[in-house]
Amino acid sequence: MVQIENEIQYNAVMTRIEELLNVVTDDTPATDRNSIELVLLSNLVADYEDIHYPVAKPTLPEVLKLRMYEMGLSQNGLSRLLGMNPSKLSEIISGKSEPTLHQARAMCSQLQISPAIALGV
């Protein structure tokens, strides 16, 4: 199996991907050699980055803060939307407390977030 083995190879592949992005467009056929090369190199980079630059799953407090920002809500506004005590929501946002199952369900449905994030799994 071919893989990127080090940072030097990774940087070289990234440079080649940048070159290919200037050539391959949405109209380029999938059978075009540049398009094929771009897909193959992109897959190699994705595999390398999964190992060397893993992205951590977001925490519930991070997701709640992001959704509050996206929805233009204050903590009080979010607590009203979720039908939750403001002090309990504050504890959850600060990471001092976990939501109950009922509260996690409300977060999932009202904020459209993953149950895995709401339940911390």
Q: What is the pLDDT of residues 22-78, one digit of tens each?
A: 999 999 999 999 999 999 999 999 999 999 999 888 899 999 999 999 999 999 999
Q: Domain map of the chain by residue range?
A: 7-52, 60-119
- Domain made up of 60-119: CATH architecture: Orthogonal Bundle (1.10)
Res 94: pLDDT: 95
Residue 121 has pLDDT above 90, yes or no: no
Nearest to 47 by CA among 80, 9, 20: 9
Distance separating alpha carbons of residues 62 and 71, to the nearest angstrom = 14
End-to-end CA distance of the chain: 33
